[in-house]
Amino acid sequence: MTAEAVADRLNAAGIRADARREKSALAALTAPSFVILGLMLFIPVGWLFWLSFIEDGAFSLENYTRMVVEPAYRSIFLTTLELSVLVTVLSVLLGYPVAYMIAMLPPRAASITLTLVLVPFWTAILVRTYAWLVLLQRRGVVNSVLMSWGIIDEPLQLVHNFTGTAIGMLHIMIPFLVLPLYANMRAIDRDYVRAAASLGASPVTAFFKVYLPLSIPGLAAGTVMVFIICLGFYITPQFLGGGRVTTISMKIQQNVATYFNWGAASSLGVVLFLSTILIFWGFSRLFPLRRITEVGGS
Protein backbone atom coordinates (compact mmCIF):
# COMPACT_ATOMS: atom_id res chain seq x y z
CA MET A 1 0.00 0.00 0.00
CA THR A 2 1.41 3.35 -0.95
CA ALA A 3 1.71 6.18 1.48
CA GLU A 4 -0.98 8.13 -0.41
CA ALA A 5 -3.46 5.28 -0.21
CA VAL A 6 -2.91 5.01 3.54
CA ALA A 7 -3.39 8.75 3.90
CA ASP A 8 -6.56 8.55 1.79
CA ARG A 9 -7.98 5.81 3.94
CA LEU A 10 -7.13 7.63 7.14
CA ASN A 11 -8.69 10.72 5.67
CA ALA A 12 -11.79 8.82 4.65
CA ALA A 13 -12.07 7.36 8.13
CA GLY A 14 -11.66 10.83 9.57
CA ILE A 15 -14.40 12.20 7.34
CA ARG A 16 -16.70 9.36 8.25
CA ALA A 17 -16.04 9.94 11.94
CA ASP A 18 -16.74 13.63 11.46
CA ALA A 19 -19.97 12.83 9.67
CA ARG A 20 -21.01 10.52 12.50
CA ARG A 21 -20.21 13.20 15.06
CA GLU A 22 -22.23 15.76 13.11
CA LYS A 23 -25.13 13.36 12.83
CA SER A 24 -25.21 12.74 16.57
CA ALA A 25 -25.00 16.47 17.21
CA LEU A 26 -28.01 16.97 14.94
CA ALA A 27 -29.85 14.16 16.70
CA ALA A 28 -29.08 15.86 20.02
CA LEU A 29 -30.59 19.08 18.69
CA THR A 30 -33.74 17.24 17.71
CA ALA A 31 -34.03 15.30 20.96
CA PRO A 32 -35.40 17.90 23.43
CA SER A 33 -38.53 18.50 21.35
CA PHE A 34 -39.23 14.81 21.22
CA VAL A 35 -38.64 14.46 24.94
CA ILE A 36 -41.35 17.08 25.54
CA LEU A 37 -43.64 15.43 23.00
CA GLY A 38 -43.02 12.09 24.68
CA LEU A 39 -43.64 13.33 28.21
CA MET A 40 -46.61 15.56 27.42
CA LEU A 41 -48.30 13.63 24.64
CA PHE A 42 -47.18 10.09 23.89
CA ILE A 43 -46.91 8.89 27.49
CA PRO A 44 -50.19 10.50 28.69
CA VAL A 45 -52.16 9.34 25.66
CA GLY A 46 -50.53 5.90 25.79
CA TRP A 47 -51.46 5.67 29.43
CA LEU A 48 -55.09 6.46 28.67
CA PHE A 49 -55.00 3.82 25.95
CA TRP A 50 -53.84 1.32 28.57
CA LEU A 51 -56.48 2.46 31.08
CA SER A 52 -59.25 1.94 28.57
CA PHE A 53 -58.65 -1.81 28.71
CA ILE A 54 -58.61 -2.02 32.51
CA GLU A 55 -61.69 -2.40 34.67
CA ASP A 56 -61.41 -3.08 38.43
CA GLY A 57 -57.73 -3.84 38.05
CA ALA A 58 -58.13 -6.51 35.39
CA PHE A 59 -58.10 -6.61 31.61
CA SER A 60 -61.55 -5.97 30.23
CA LEU A 61 -63.25 -4.85 27.07
CA GLU A 62 -66.21 -3.50 29.01
CA ASN A 63 -65.45 0.09 28.05
CA TYR A 64 -65.65 -0.83 24.40
CA THR A 65 -68.66 -3.13 24.53
CA ARG A 66 -70.53 -0.36 26.35
CA MET A 67 -70.17 1.88 23.33
CA VAL A 68 -71.78 -0.69 21.08
CA VAL A 69 -74.52 -1.75 23.47
CA GLU A 70 -75.73 1.51 24.99
CA PRO A 71 -78.02 3.55 22.74
CA ALA A 72 -76.85 6.77 24.43
CA TYR A 73 -73.40 6.23 22.98
CA ARG A 74 -74.77 5.44 19.57
CA SER A 75 -76.61 8.75 19.48
CA ILE A 76 -73.42 10.59 20.54
CA PHE A 77 -71.47 8.98 17.71
CA LEU A 78 -74.27 9.77 15.31
CA THR A 79 -74.52 13.42 16.38
CA THR A 80 -70.76 13.87 16.05
CA LEU A 81 -70.77 12.26 12.62
CA GLU A 82 -73.77 14.25 11.38
CA LEU A 83 -72.23 17.53 12.54
CA SER A 84 -68.86 16.68 11.02
CA VAL A 85 -70.26 15.63 7.64
CA LEU A 86 -72.59 18.63 7.42
CA VAL A 87 -69.92 21.14 8.41
CA THR A 88 -67.32 19.56 6.11
CA VAL A 89 -69.66 19.62 3.09
CA LEU A 90 -70.67 23.22 3.76
CA SER A 91 -67.04 24.24 4.31
CA VAL A 92 -66.14 22.82 0.90
CA LEU A 93 -69.11 24.46 -0.85
CA LEU A 94 -68.52 27.86 0.77
CA GLY A 95 -64.73 27.73 1.05
CA TYR A 96 -63.95 26.78 -2.54
CA PRO A 97 -65.35 29.99 -4.05
CA VAL A 98 -63.41 32.06 -1.50
CA ALA A 99 -60.10 30.35 -2.24
CA TYR A 100 -60.84 30.58 -5.97
CA MET A 101 -61.61 34.26 -5.79
CA ILE A 102 -58.44 35.02 -3.80
CA ALA A 103 -56.42 33.05 -6.35
CA MET A 104 -57.93 35.14 -9.18
CA LEU A 105 -57.42 38.54 -7.53
CA PRO A 106 -54.37 40.71 -8.25
CA PRO A 107 -51.66 40.28 -5.54
CA ARG A 108 -52.56 43.30 -3.41
CA ALA A 109 -56.28 42.61 -3.29
CA ALA A 110 -55.53 38.92 -2.72
CA SER A 111 -53.34 39.75 0.26
CA ILE A 112 -56.04 41.94 1.81
CA THR A 113 -58.75 39.34 1.26
CA LEU A 114 -56.52 36.64 2.68
CA THR A 115 -56.05 38.78 5.79
CA LEU A 116 -59.83 38.88 6.18
CA VAL A 117 -59.79 35.07 6.28
CA LEU A 118 -56.78 34.92 8.62
CA VAL A 119 -58.12 37.31 11.25
CA PRO A 120 -61.05 35.06 12.27
CA PHE A 121 -58.68 32.09 11.96
CA TRP A 122 -56.38 33.56 14.62
CA THR A 123 -59.13 34.91 16.87
CA ALA A 124 -59.64 32.93 20.07
CA ILE A 125 -62.35 30.29 19.74
CA LEU A 126 -64.09 31.49 22.89
CA VAL A 127 -64.37 34.99 21.44
CA ARG A 128 -66.03 33.64 18.32
CA THR A 129 -68.32 31.38 20.31
CA TYR A 130 -69.35 34.36 22.43
CA ALA A 131 -69.98 36.44 19.31
CA TRP A 132 -72.26 33.76 17.89
CA LEU A 133 -74.17 33.57 21.17
CA VAL A 134 -74.76 37.31 20.94
CA LEU A 135 -75.65 37.20 17.25
CA LEU A 136 -77.93 34.20 17.31
CA GLN A 137 -79.77 34.44 20.61
CA ARG A 138 -83.52 34.99 20.72
CA ARG A 139 -83.30 38.78 20.85
CA GLY A 140 -79.94 38.79 19.14
CA VAL A 141 -78.71 40.71 16.15
CA VAL A 142 -79.71 38.20 13.47
CA ASN A 143 -83.26 37.83 14.73
CA SER A 144 -83.78 41.57 15.14
CA VAL A 145 -82.50 42.28 11.64
CA LEU A 146 -84.68 39.57 10.10
CA MET A 147 -87.71 40.84 12.00
CA SER A 148 -87.13 44.49 11.13
CA TRP A 149 -86.90 43.51 7.47
CA GLY A 150 -90.20 41.69 7.87
CA ILE A 151 -88.75 38.36 6.78
CA ILE A 152 -89.93 36.67 9.97
CA ASP A 153 -92.58 37.56 12.56
CA GLU A 154 -91.34 35.39 15.41
CA PRO A 155 -87.68 35.13 16.47
CA LEU A 156 -86.08 31.93 15.18
CA GLN A 157 -84.48 29.44 17.53
CA LEU A 158 -80.98 29.77 16.09
CA VAL A 159 -78.80 28.83 19.02
CA HIS A 160 -78.68 26.34 21.91
CA ASN A 161 -79.35 23.61 19.37
CA PHE A 162 -77.88 21.70 16.43
CA THR A 163 -78.25 24.68 14.05
CA GLY A 164 -76.28 27.05 16.28
CA THR A 165 -73.56 24.45 16.81
CA ALA A 166 -73.25 23.88 13.06
CA ILE A 167 -73.06 27.62 12.35
CA GLY A 168 -70.35 28.14 14.99
CA MET A 169 -68.34 25.17 13.74
CA LEU A 170 -68.66 26.26 10.13
CA HIS A 171 -67.26 29.65 11.07
CA ILE A 172 -64.21 28.00 12.62
CA MET A 173 -63.68 25.46 9.85
CA ILE A 174 -63.97 27.49 6.62
CA PRO A 175 -60.46 29.03 6.99
CA PHE A 176 -59.02 25.54 7.53
CA LEU A 177 -60.34 24.67 4.09
CA VAL A 178 -59.49 27.94 2.36
CA LEU A 179 -55.83 28.14 3.43
CA PRO A 180 -54.44 24.86 2.01
CA LEU A 181 -56.73 25.15 -1.01
CA TYR A 182 -55.51 28.66 -1.77
CA ALA A 183 -51.88 27.56 -1.34
CA ASN A 184 -52.56 24.87 -3.94
CA MET A 185 -54.42 27.19 -6.34
CA ARG A 186 -51.65 29.77 -6.24
CA ALA A 187 -49.26 27.15 -7.61
CA ILE A 188 -51.55 26.16 -10.49
CA ASP A 189 -50.13 27.23 -13.81
CA ARG A 190 -52.91 29.25 -15.45
CA ASP A 191 -51.50 28.46 -18.88
CA TYR A 192 -53.27 25.09 -18.67
CA VAL A 193 -56.62 26.85 -18.39
CA ARG A 194 -55.66 29.22 -21.21
CA ALA A 195 -54.59 26.28 -23.36
CA ALA A 196 -57.95 24.63 -22.75
CA ALA A 197 -59.72 27.85 -23.71
CA SER A 198 -57.66 28.28 -26.85
CA LEU A 199 -58.52 24.72 -27.84
CA GLY A 200 -62.19 25.66 -27.68
CA ALA A 201 -63.21 24.68 -24.16
CA SER A 202 -65.89 26.91 -22.66
CA PRO A 203 -64.93 28.56 -19.35
CA VAL A 204 -67.11 26.06 -17.49
CA THR A 205 -65.56 23.07 -19.25
CA ALA A 206 -62.06 24.46 -18.74
CA PHE A 207 -62.79 24.87 -15.05
CA PHE A 208 -64.19 21.40 -14.46
CA LYS A 209 -61.81 19.52 -16.76
CA VAL A 210 -58.61 21.41 -16.02
CA TYR A 211 -58.66 23.71 -13.01
CA LEU A 212 -60.71 21.63 -10.57
CA PRO A 213 -58.60 18.46 -10.99
CA LEU A 214 -55.44 20.51 -10.46
CA SER A 215 -56.85 21.88 -7.21
CA ILE A 216 -57.82 18.45 -5.83
CA PRO A 217 -54.68 17.95 -3.68
CA GLY A 218 -55.29 21.19 -1.77
CA LEU A 219 -59.01 20.51 -1.57
CA ALA A 220 -58.38 17.01 -0.22
CA ALA A 221 -55.89 18.28 2.35
CA GLY A 222 -58.35 20.93 3.52
CA THR A 223 -61.28 18.53 3.57
CA VAL A 224 -59.53 15.88 5.65
CA MET A 225 -58.25 18.54 8.03
CA VAL A 226 -61.74 19.99 8.45
CA PHE A 227 -63.34 16.60 8.94
CA ILE A 228 -60.93 15.32 11.58
CA ILE A 229 -61.02 18.59 13.51
CA CYS A 230 -64.84 18.48 13.41
CA LEU A 231 -64.83 15.02 14.98
CA GLY A 232 -63.04 16.40 18.04
CA PHE A 233 -65.11 19.56 18.63
CA TYR A 234 -65.77 20.45 22.24
CA ILE A 235 -66.10 24.20 22.93
CA THR A 236 -68.61 25.11 20.23
CA PRO A 237 -71.19 22.37 20.93
CA GLN A 238 -70.70 22.96 24.66
CA PHE A 239 -71.78 26.60 24.41
CA LEU A 240 -73.89 26.78 21.27
CA GLY A 241 -75.54 23.38 21.66
CA GLY A 242 -77.40 24.37 24.83
CA GLY A 243 -77.26 20.82 26.20
CA ARG A 244 -79.11 19.45 23.20
CA VAL A 245 -75.97 18.45 21.35
CA THR A 246 -73.49 16.00 22.86
CA THR A 247 -70.33 15.21 20.91
CA ILE A 248 -67.74 12.54 21.65
CA SER A 249 -65.36 15.11 23.17
CA MET A 250 -68.10 16.40 25.48
CA LYS A 251 -68.85 12.87 26.64
CA ILE A 252 -65.16 12.33 27.35
CA GLN A 253 -65.08 15.46 29.49
CA GLN A 254 -68.27 14.41 31.32
CA ASN A 255 -66.88 10.96 32.01
CA VAL A 256 -63.82 12.50 33.62
CA ALA A 257 -65.31 15.49 35.42
CA THR A 258 -68.64 14.07 36.52
CA TYR A 259 -68.10 10.35 36.92
CA PHE A 260 -64.30 10.13 37.35
CA ASN A 261 -64.53 7.25 34.94
CA TRP A 262 -61.11 7.29 33.29
CA GLY A 263 -61.62 4.00 31.50
CA ALA A 264 -64.83 5.15 29.81
CA ALA A 265 -63.31 8.52 28.89
CA SER A 266 -60.14 6.89 27.57
CA SER A 267 -61.91 4.30 25.45
CA LEU A 268 -63.95 7.04 23.77
CA GLY A 269 -60.76 9.01 23.23
CA VAL A 270 -59.07 5.98 21.73
CA VAL A 271 -61.97 5.43 19.32
CA LEU A 272 -61.92 9.11 18.37
CA PHE A 273 -58.18 9.10 17.84
CA LEU A 274 -58.13 5.88 15.84
CA SER A 275 -60.95 7.14 13.60
CA THR A 276 -58.92 10.31 13.04
CA ILE A 277 -55.83 8.32 12.06
CA LEU A 278 -57.85 5.96 9.87
CA ILE A 279 -59.55 8.81 7.99
CA PHE A 280 -56.25 10.61 7.58
CA TRP A 281 -54.60 7.46 6.26
CA GLY A 282 -57.51 6.67 3.95
CA PHE A 283 -57.44 10.16 2.49
CA SER A 284 -53.71 10.09 1.99
CA ARG A 285 -54.07 6.84 0.05
CA LEU A 286 -56.85 8.24 -2.13
CA PHE A 287 -55.42 11.70 -2.77
CA PRO A 288 -51.95 13.15 -2.91
CA LEU A 289 -52.33 15.37 0.14
CA ARG A 290 -50.34 18.36 -0.82
CA ARG A 291 -48.26 19.80 1.94
CA ILE A 292 -50.79 19.14 4.62
CA THR A 293 -48.11 20.23 7.07
CA GLU A 294 -48.45 23.76 5.80
CA VAL A 295 -51.99 24.19 7.01
CA GLY A 296 -52.27 27.10 9.38
CA GLY A 297 -51.17 29.86 7.10
CA SER A 298 -47.53 28.92 7.37
Query: Among residue numbers 268 through 297, which ones bind another protein (CB under 8 A)?
Result: 269-270, 272-273, 276-277, 280, 293-294, 296-297
Q: Which stretch binds another protein (CB under 8 A): 1-9, 56-64, 101-109, 215-223?
A: 101-109
The correct pick among 9, 20, 74, 194 for binding another protein (CB under 8 A) is 194
Q: CB of residue 207 vs another protein: minimum separation in angstroms?
A: 9
The correct pick among 63, 79, 84, 129 for binding another protein (CB under 8 A) is 129
Specify the residue, 6 or 190, whose C-beta has the smaller distance to another protein: 190
Q: Does 214 bind another protein (CB under 8 A)?
A: no
Start-to-end Cα distance in the chain: 56
Go through 97-136 and write b for each residue having 16 or more CB atoms within 10 A of its CB, e for each that does not: ebbbebbeeeeeebeebbeebeeeeeeeeeebbeebbebb
The closest of 83, 93, 84 to 178, measured between CA atoms, is 93
Q: CB of residue 60 vs another protein: minimum separation in angstroms?
A: 19
Q: Phi and psi of 59, rounded to 5°?
A: -65, 135
- Total Cβ atoms within 10 A of residue 140: 17
Q: How many residues bind another protein (CB under 8 A)?
A: 92
Q: Does 94 bind another protein (CB under 8 A)?
A: yes
Q: Does 59 bind another protein (CB under 8 A)?
A: no
Q: Does 162 bind another protein (CB under 8 A)?
A: no
Go through 265-289 and write b for each residue having 16 or more CB atoms within 10 A of its CB, e for each that does not: bbbbbbbbbebbeeebeebeeebeb
Q: CB-side exposure of 236: number of CA atoms within 13 Å?
A: 25
The correct pick among 9, 130, 259, 282 for binding another protein (CB under 8 A) is 130
Q: Which stretch binds another protein (CB under 8 A): 10-18, 63-71, 137-145, 148-156?
A: 137-145
Q: What does the alpha-carbon distance between residue 124 and residue 138 come to, in Å, rounded to a whole number?
A: 24
The closest of 128, 213, 133 to 174, measured between CA atoms, is 128
Alpha helices in 158-247 (DSSP H): 162-186, 191-198, 203-206, 212-231, 235-240
Q: Which residues pair with 142 in a beta bridge?
A: none
The correct pick among 29, 58, 68, 199 for binding another protein (CB under 8 A) is 29
Q: Does 252 bind another protein (CB under 8 A)?
A: yes
Q: CB of residue 185 vs another protein: minimum separation in angstroms?
A: 13
Please give the distance of CA 38 from its chain centroid, rounded to a whole number: 22
CA R_g for the chain: 26
Q: Does 78 bind another protein (CB under 8 A)?
A: no
Specify the residue, 13 or 277, whose C-beta has the smaller distance to another protein: 277
Q: Does 245 bind another protein (CB under 8 A)?
A: no
Q: Does 30 bind another protein (CB under 8 A)?
A: yes
